[in-house]
Structure 1
């Protein structure tokens, strides 16, 4: 089994560069123990290649041009995990549409252009406090996910996004409750969840002041796993992680889903589960 692994460009790992590198390296080690021969390359090296000889590709790539190249290879018969189409499905607006259309509980949200039309639409938003999130990609900079306290502040943020050539944003209601982070490997028994603020695991520390400390509201853990798995299926990714807000009454909403996150609190177990899934899927394709 000859594979190529494409690790993530560091600009797509805000405050998690070491964690993303670690899970990728451990997964490659576990695959090699199962007999796979692996070539590792960066996103830039992958993009510079005239041809990719390996038909089995495991990837953390997020550069849009790299994702597009992977989609071409996948359409031509290469086995790509996560699917490059699934990676694109995890871009913010794509993700929200996929989850909402598959009846996954998500916050009430609007897709709003960053033009003057968007500013007019924002005037119709019914709540005083809300989130504005970059629509075309994941959060790379702190401003890509911003909590605003008034429509005027929101309109100023739309102007800032427009200056950065971001055409659309997702405007979402602010939900009170416990922030819970989860990780999973679809098709296996592996699932892990935790309270990120209690483990100092977050991209931007100021979010804790907005969300508040965890109150450990009781909720159905099996239902969280079921909904998280359904969310990954909706976005067509196998290796995934995300965030949910758990309310006082135990109900919860998925507020984010990512392709191949860091798995930092459960790294070794996750790497073994990921490698097992990859080996199984690549074997099934005849590699």
Structure 2
């Protein structure tokens, strides 16, 4: 059997806030695991991929997020190239798209509304109960710390929206602030791999000051199997196989997903995850016609 020739498109560093080394590590380790399975791997960065006149690979694995790269990968998918994660799934993880997709498919999430950044009305704020709001840029992932901001009042929330507008961000997602334990998770669809933990207990969070807002972990009991099932379902409706995210676990053991990402760092479980990711990719590449 001829070895599989696979192109890997790495993520540009600006799309890995506070996780450049971790993203490098999981991608490189996955490539090594694929080589152990007999694959021939060529790696390029997003800019190098865009500079290619033609892409002579029928199988691509990618962490890419640059919009031009995602668009080109989508065109390749339309013409028969196999791309994992799918570029259509990657685009679905842009915040506004993610919010719409999870809501339409009845995934348990924080109550959220999409607004233009020049929004100055009261209706959305009237609908959201509780204390405080999370304001997130809608058109993309978080690149800067301010792209996910907590507002303790409506006035503060509107000021954040104005700042987004000045940065020419067209829309934003306003979400309720949920009370409970923050849980981070990683998964690989089509495998038994699922890893969850309390990030504040392990000093693992992009912006540790969020702990002052969310509070320390209380360790409410909940079903890890239920979280895995819900997370897999969420990744499935979004259209990604390699995923991670965050959930808030309430005092009754209920949980709601507050974020879902295409191919995160898997930093606390990289050694276990890389082989599972490579195995899933290999099987899908091998069986795809």
Q: TM-score, normalised by structure 1?
A: 0.97
1:192-203 equivalent positions in 2, closer than 5 A? 192-203=195-206
- The answer to whether structure 1 residue 12 and structure 2 residue 6 are counterparts is no
Q: How far apart in 2 are the matches of 1:254 and 1:40?
A: 33
Alignment counterpart, residue 33 of structure 2, candidates 5, 26, 30: 30
1:113-149 deviation line (CA, Å, top 9, x unaligned): 112xx11145645445111111011111111010001
Report the alpha carbon displacement of residue 153 of structure 1 after superposing the two structures with TM.
0.9
For residues 178-206 of structure 1, what are the alpha-carbon distances to aligned partners after superposition, in whole Å with 9 as ceiling and x for unaligned?
Answer: 00000000000101000011111111111
Q: What is the TM-score with the length of structure 2 in the denominator?
A: 0.96
Task: Give the alignment of 1:214-229 within 5 angstroms.
Answer: 214-229=217-232
Q: Following the alignment from structure 2 to structure 1, what is the Cα–Cα distance between the partners of residues 239 and 185?
A: 17
Query: Which ranges in structure 2 are unaligned for 5 or more consecutive residues?
Result: none
Q: What residue number does 1:250 align with?
A: 253
Q: Which residue of structure 2 lines up, in the alignment, with residue 45 of structure 1?
A: 48
Q: State how far apart, in whole Å, the 1-side matches of 2:21 and 2:98 are.
A: 26
Q: Which residue of the other structure, out of 210, 214, 221, is the alignment partner of 1:211?
A: 214
Secondary structure of the equivalent of 1:131?
strand
Aligned equivalent of 1:75, options 74, 78, 96: 78
Corresponding position of 1:89:
92
Gaps of 5+ in 1: none
Q: Distance in 2 between matches of 1:240 and 1:168?
A: 24
Please give the per-residue CA displacement for 1:68-94, whole angstroms capped at 9, x wherever unaligned: 000000110000000000000011111
Superposed displacement of residue 221, structure 1: 0.9
Q: 1:114 to 1:280 in 2, by over 3 A?
A: same
Tell me how far apart the structure 1 counterparts of residues 277 and 266 of structure 2 sit (CA, whole Å): 11
Q: Give the paired residue count.
A: 284
Structure 2 partner of 1:232: 235
Partner of 2:277: 274
Residue matched to 1:64: 67
Q: Which residue of 2 aligns with 1:119?
A: 120
Q: Which residue of 2 aligns with 1:98?
A: 101
Aligned match for 1:157, one of 153, 160, 171 = 160
2:265 is aligned, of 241, 262, 265, to: 262
Over the aligned positions, Cα root-mean-square deviation in angstroms equals 1.0
2:194 maps to 191
Q: Please give the alpha-carbon distance, in whole angstroms, between the structure 2 residues aligned to 1:126 and 1:12.
A: 30
